[in-house]
Amino acid sequence: MSEGSAVIPFDESLDAHPIEALNKKSYELDDNREPDDSRLQYFAAKLVCLLACHEYARRIPASANIAVAAAAPGLVATELGQKDASGNNLQLIDLETLVTIRPRTPEEGARTIVLAATYPVEAVWKEGTRRVPFLTNMQEMDTEYFVAKSGDLELRRKVWDDTVRLLKLTDDEVDRCFL
């Protein structure tokens, strides 16, 4: 997950097959693209992850006593994103200056993931609800925007159906995962 997914348009959501449309976009910069395009695609992919979390929460039977939470380690100072798919070095961007956020250490980023994995079920799913908390920087993030996007049942189902279609899963294979 990424906090940046809260501030991007998800134009692919208008497509009948939003995941396929997102996957068809090139992530490499060329002369015809704005430098921010690849970041927007990255954030859109993270928004899709949040949509999936909400769909998992809807599909998992309450009797399973399994909670779903989303976690974003945030901007972490690692080597990730320093090479392209061919292993060539990318032009480094001073993200701290660009977005005025100090990158977290790998340990700080990992703490949020561990928190999500160990969060008490009672805190995640208050009695009678199936809400999905979004954790970042060791705390639950205000998710008003995320809830608006991820709470869109039509969009969630469209993203889910397109993912299942692309993975060539049968309804029976999907049902066995959630029963």
Q: Residue holding tokens 């927007």?
A: 40
In sequence order, which residues have a C-beta less than 8 Å from that of residue 25 and are 6 or more positions away? 41
Half-sphere exposure of 157 (CA within 13 A, CB side): 3
**pTM exceeding 0.75:** no
Question: Where do the structural domains in the chain lie, given as residue ranges?
Answer: 3-178
For 70-81, write each residue's pLDDT tens digit: 888 887 877 776
83 SS3 class: strand
For 12-55, write each residue's pLDDT tens digit: 888 889 888 888 876 555 555 555 556 677 778 888 888 888 88
Measured CA to CA, the distance from residue 120 to residue 135 in angstroms comes to 13
For 85-110, write each residue's pLDDT tens digit: 677 777 766 766 766 777 888 898 89
